Amino acid sequence: MIHQKIDTERLRLRRWKREDHAPFAELCSDPYVMQFIGNGSTRTAEQAGRSIASFEREWDEKGYGLFAVEEKRTGDLIGFTGLSRPDFLPEILPSIEIGWRFSRPSWGKGHASEAAAAALSFGVTELGISDIVSICQIGNRASVRIMQKLGMVFDRETIDPTCGREIEVYRLPEQLE
């Protein structure tokens, strides 16, 4: 079985555990974190718990998923990154999405870039997935910057059918026609 754990210089990417529920609920209750996600609304602790259950289900059923990201120095959960199937945007399927979400205190330190690069490399090298996109709402400049740093290139602008907001799709260049 492929090892679903990655250590980078400062971070550990791993499967989810019970202790992650409280810190994940806290970051999903932060309006700054959630402003570019869906309709921008924050999540309850119960909704955040259901999200963790669905992340774990995707790992079990599909063999890829969103990693919990922990800072090695403190052991704190600071966010997630990894692969998921973008069912909310049927026009992009069967591409797989790489995404990320980090707690506000962790921003600005390169953690998201470091974790996303490791998750992308895991997807391409370990899992053999190359049809990878990344999707963000217009205005989410930090996310676009991470996509560019990952070597992804602009693919299209479209609308998120679940909330009506404008989104940008970036793609790993091998998949450009």
Instruction: Summarize as ranges the residues that interact with ligand COA (CB under 6 A).
Output: 33, 36-37, 99-102, 107-113, 136, 140-143, 145-146
Largest CA distance in the chain: 44
**Tokens describing residue 26:** 């806290």
φ, ψ of residue 77 in degrees (nearest 5): -75, 125
CB of 36 to ligand COA, least distance (A): 4
| CB-based burial, 72-85: b 16+ in 10 Å, e otherwise | eeeeebbbbbbbbb
Tell me the one-letter amino acid at 110: G
Q: Tell me the DSSP string of 54-101.
A: HHHHHHHHHS--EEEEEETTT--EEEEEEEE--TT-GGGTT-EEEEEE
CB of 4 to ligand COA, least distance (A): 21
Nearer to ligand COA, 84 or 143 (CB): 143
φ, ψ of residue 50 in degrees (nearest 5): -65, -35
Nearer to ligand COA, 23 or 110 (CB): 110
